[in-house]
Amino acid sequence: MRVFSINTPLIVEMGNEDLKAIANAWPLLVGLLLLDGWGFVNLPEVTWAGVAYVLHKCPQLITLSLSLDTRIDDVALMTSLPSFRPNMHLRFLSITDSVLDEVEVFVHSLFAIAPLVVGIDGWGHESEMLEISVPMANASAFLDQVESLMWELRRTRMRDQFAFLDGYVRNEAEEMNPFSTHQPARRFPYNKGRDRRIMGFPA
């Protein structure tokens, strides 16, 4: 199987073991869409370790949609294994109604397992019973920060491919100089599409 998709309104209870079962059954997946557009409508039990397992076991995966609890920083359970390799094919990630917390944890975890993701969308989790630092209303701003930091990590850690991104950065001296002739720094090269944020390299 190449694409596994469930797209119907359900209340989902799914954890890392369920993701492992899917990945073990269909390691040639290029698309895994779990309630894409609906969300799990429940506090997610999936964590970064489960996502890392899927991306490692399904190295051809290009699009992934699921809900996870990003507060749990457990990605090292997978990335520390000698056999682990990051997924270099994943481009689009929809986190639907995930629980969002610290931008740094999100970016650190995602870059470690799928450094070339260029499109991230979702709307975040809403719960009156749970105190969440990134409420649903702020999810778009949160994901904008994630995408910008992902580009910065590529610029600094994958320079063989992304050195051109230096043209999108101004140094501190330029930022503080009111007489600088430099133009304002351009946004990193992605365009926000209606459903996905699509890579747009400069000409």
Q: Taking 50 as the threshold, does the pLDDT of residue 201 lie above it?
A: no
What is the DSSP track for 68-87? -BTT---THHHHTSTT----
Q: Per-residue pLDDT tens for 54-100?
A: 999 999 999 999 999 999 999 999 999 999 999 999 999 999 989 98
Query: What counts of helices (H) and strands (E) characterise the chain?
Result: 7, 7
Q: Per-residue pLDDT tens for 136-183?
A: 667 888 998 999 899 999 999 998 888 877 777 655 555 555 555 555
What's the confidence (pLDDT) of residue 193? Answer: 42
What's the confidence (pLDDT) of residue 198? Answer: 38
Q: Per-residue pLDDT tens for 4-26?
A: 998 877 777 899 999 999 999 99
For 132, phi then psi, to 5°, come to: -115, 130
Instruction: Provide the pairing of β-strand 190-192 with 119-121.
Output: unpaired
Higher pLDDT, 82 or 195: 82
Higher pLDDT, 134 or 12: 12
Q: Taking 70 as the threshold, does the pLDDT of residue 199 lie above it?
A: no
Higher pLDDT, 41 or 60: 60
Q: Per-residue pLDDT tens for 93-124?
A: 999 989 988 899 999 999 999 999 988 998 88
Q: How many angstroms from the chain centroid is the CA of residue 62?
A: 12
